[in-house]
Amino acid sequence: EPFDYYMFGQNYIRPLVDFRSSYVGNVSLFFEMEEKLNQGHNIVLISNHQTEADPAVIALLLESTNPHVAENLTYIAGDRVITDPLCKPFSMGRNLICVYSKKHM
């Protein structure tokens, strides 16, 4: 059967998150977002991430309260996440829009 890259990434990063002291601020906004998504609206979140693990961490922190949002986020990423052999397996479990930088065009 097909390999579940989403769960691979989640299970790989899970032990690195201290759930006792980690939290999502303004979690009520995520409930509102999920309600709007269920109504057919689109939502754009903009953030500057710090590590390649951020998509998995965000999904892990939302999986108990907003699993639909956690599993269905679409990320914008640079081409490294699909070309780097260490990043690619984690990227394969995410919904991605790949952006190629100007230096490669």
29: which residues sit within 8 A by CB, 6+ positions away?
A: none
Confidence tier at 100 by pLDDT (50, 70, 90): confident
Average pLDDT score over residue span 82-87: 86
> What's the whole-model pTM score?
0.82
Closest C-alpha among 54, 93, 88 to residue 71:
93
d(CA 13, CA 7) in angstroms, rounded, equals 10
Confidence tier at 60 by pLDDT (50, 70, 90): very high
Q: Which CATH number fits domain 5-104: 3.40.1130.10, 3.40.720.10, 3.40.50.10800, 3.30.70.20?
A: 3.40.1130.10
